[in-house]
Chains A and B, each alone.
Chain A
Amino acid sequence: GQNIDQPTEMTATEGAIVQINCTYQTSGFNGLFWYQQHAGEAPTFLSYNVLDGLEEKGRFSSFLSRSKGYSYLLLKELQMKDSASYLCAAMDSNYQLIWGAGTKLIIKP
């Protein structure tokens, strides 16, 4: 079957770095997406990886290892506004997104 695993909740300190891991198992693979979702709001696109390696975009970076079925989202210089849920989603061979349940990130001052 198809499955996405990510931690339910993580806590980090303002100004620090946090890494949110995601493992996936899909029928075929056409890329890995990360979205941010603030409470009561819609998911918003953060990053996309289809090749192995690290993609950096400002304070946020995303890594992919296709052979391991593994990705992580790295958030640097954490700010209080980064408190949100982070959703990992893998695109399968039918170009459908398979979503993880999300990781709730709590930032403490």
Chain B
Amino acid sequence: IAGITQAPTSQILAAGRRMTLRCTQDMRHNAMYWYRQDLGLGLRLIHYSNTAGTTGKGEVPDGYSVSRANTDDFPLTLASAVPSQTSVYFCASSDLTSGGPDTQYFGPGTRLTVL
């Protein structure tokens, strides 16, 4: 099935632990994004990648890192988790070469709780 997958679906993590959230898309989109969504706030961009091999910082990048070794995968790593990183994390992708609107398509999300 075409689309974006994320893993895990949910996770409870002890503070100080390292965690990688996985994201894979099979639409051959060149751009990928990581957002966090917190109650009462809009989606906030953590990191993005416009093409394989490049990444950029979004609005709230501190405490997170990403890599983009190939077109399909865009993992998000929390090096040392803190309770303020408790959130729902969405991965998204878009085709910046289509000539049309840069519509972003979202994965199902990962619900992360840091205790």
Chain A: residues with CB nearer than 8 A to chain B? 4, 30-31, 33, 41-45, 48, 50, 87, 89, 91, 95-102
Contacts and interface: CB of A to CB of B under 8 A. Distances in A.
Contacts, number: 46
Interface string B72-115: 00000000000000000010000010000111111111000000
Contact of B103 (A48, A96, A99, A101): A48
B42 interface: yes
Contacts of A4: 42
Nearest to B101: A48
Which secondary structure dominates chain B's binding surface?
A: loop
Interface residues of B, number: 19
Given A50-B101, A91-B102, A97-B104, A43 B43 contact: yes
B41 interface: yes
Contacts of B102: 30-31, 91, 95
